[in-house]
Amino acid sequence: MREHGLLAGTLIASGSERMTALARALGFDEPSTQAMRDIFLTLASSWGALPVGEAPPWPSDVCDDHSPFELSVAIDAEGPQLRVLVEPMDAPFSLSANRAASLRLHEELARTQGLHLERLRALEGLLMPEDARGRFVAWYSAAFSPGHPVDFKAYFNLLAQGPGRAARLTEEALHRIGFHAAWSSVAEVMGRREVGMDEPVYFALDLSPRADARAKLYFRHHRATASFLEEVCALGRHHQPGVAAEFCRQMAGGGEGPYGGKGLVTCLSFTDPSDARPQAVTVYFPMSHHARDDREIRQRITGYLDSQGLATGPYLGALEASAHRPLEAGTGIHTYAAVRWQGRPRVTVYFSPETYGMMRQPSREPPAVEVARPATEIVDHFETHSVADHPFFTRMQREPVRLEVLARLLANFRVGITREFPRRLAWLTARATDERIRSVLAKQLNDELGDGDFTRAHRGLFERMFEVLAPWAPPETQEVLAPGHALGAELERCYVSAEPYEGVGASLVVEVYGKQVDTFVADQFRRQTQIPPSALEWLHLHEHLEVEHASESMDMARLIPTGPASEAAWRGAKAVATASRAFFDALYRQCYP
């Protein structure tokens, strides 16, 4: 038996049938519907012949049930738009095989759709590495509107080189396609809360040859509130105050957050390479994770559409075409609902085909108590999430060495770290409650002070090195040194006045980051020829000593009891990581305006 010439029981027949049902529910004529099916067949060609089974052959992250395609309907004053999102995948299923399927699709889209893929080609090697990690390599979408050309987009995984390099990949991707100014908005989103709470996850490109072709950056926000998401959306040039917060409240059934479970998503959409601000920001609410069942979700979405003066008919028709079971049976038909304001509201609702079953009703049991993590994981985590992957360092490494940039960096190190570090470390050493930890800290303090020889004290060696950079040093104004003062204030709090174990946790990250930064800076000096190596004694000493101190940090972490002490250590570690990110964000803005 065949469906529109497709073998029944295959994934592509199932997807084609569902797309046809949605297109008819939205009023598309038969020629348009057939054209949609043809494009869907192209996007899904790598896996279309697979049979529909009880378990997915590859756990696609396109939908919660791991279906490799998702359908959605966008509703605004101009009428509905039908969209399809697909993940190419190929047997034997792996990220490597899926990458090969995606590269073949690039060629097919260029051949059959006449797309100009120059921007996509510029990102293939960066965002589609051969040793890709994470849950996917690339996704592709097509959007269909009556009377308009088809819009194609490609989505890339910013976690493809590991979570610790997502920011670095983002900055590099923006640079490669000419959107240099956009990084400041990206850094602002990431810098509003504790490090790790707001992570870049997807990078998308419009593939259609349009003058206003977009570059889009998606963030996942963990435990965000409605008011915080309103702040993120306010970055958009067409922001309408209150829209994002009210949307979140209505989609959550009245809750203000923080929203647990699967984090909410925002998308910053850039169209002008010279503009640091996105034209629009979209907020996506993961409906299935915040409602009892799909019937409750329907009530929330129709209520919101009514409140915005948008027609509910297209949504209800699409839902009826998508639902193949009672709405009250559980959640899973709806995946996300989204709103974007660009002169007027556009609401998009995303539907899972539930090829592999529905989600169950969210548990009513109390949330599990979070178990304290051992302090040893602090060292492992910040070794993996290296501060040297910050885009400030990416930019320095990408360009010829500029001694004025190195001098500005070291001037801020001077006021933020080196001038007061021996005193702060002495305070922490005195306050440590575990004699074994105090012994390690005391050894590091002795190293800082030159092992009894004041002429070898690190602060003095740093000052002599800094004198060599005097011809390139910036004026020591409050504005220039603001990053250093801000970092120094947080180090002062952690080392001198915070709970002792919080200070110890901070010291673990300071030593790990110190090793990473010293190694990077030493490499930069080795790339230049204006300053001789003999003038860089402090750097050579620290480059080797910080490796030793970072190793001692793991020894010290093993001495921190798991429980309240390790929780305090994690607080200190995250505080230093967050302050360090803000420090390098500020230097990026100063050095690369």
State both tokens at 367.
């949330």
Beta strands in 304-450 (DSSP E): 334-341, 345-351
The CA distance from 135 to 230, in Å, is 29
Alpha carbon distances (Å) from 186 to 192, 341, 378: 11, 19, 26
* Nearest one of 423, 393, 449, 361 to 583, comparing CA atoms: 393
Question: What would you report as the CA-atom Rg of the chain, rounded to the nearest whole angstrom?
Answer: 27
The CA distance from 172 to 127, in Å, is 10
Beta bridge partners of 334: 351
Catalytic residues: 70
* Nearest one of 147, 148, 168 to 158, comparing CA atoms: 168
Q: Is the dihedral angle over the CA atoms 466, 472, 473, 479 positive or is it negative? A: negative
Q: How many CB atoms lie within 10 A of CB 471?
A: 10
Alpha carbon distances (Å) from 351 to 260, 385, 569: 21, 35, 43
Beta bridge partners of 74: 81, 348
Residue with tokens 């590991």: 162
What are the backbone dihedrals phi and psi of residue 49, each rounded to the nearest 5 degrees, phi first?
A: -80, -5
What are the backbone dihedrals phi and psi of residue 7, each rounded to the nearest 5 degrees, phi first?
A: -70, 125
Beta strands in 158-279 (DSSP E): 198-206, 215-221, 264-270
Start-to-end CA span in the chain (Å):
62
Beta bridge partners of 7: 2
Residues 6+ apart with CB under 8 A from 392: 584, 585, 587, 588, 591
Helices (H) and strands (E) in the chain, counts: 20, 12
Contact 498, 506 (CB under 8 A): yes
Give the SS3 label for residue 133.
coil
Residues 6+ apart with CB under 8 A from 425: 441, 444, 445, 448, 495, 507
The CA distance from 521 to 518, in Å, is 5
Beta bridge partners of 142: 84, 152
Supply the DSSP symbol for 523.
H
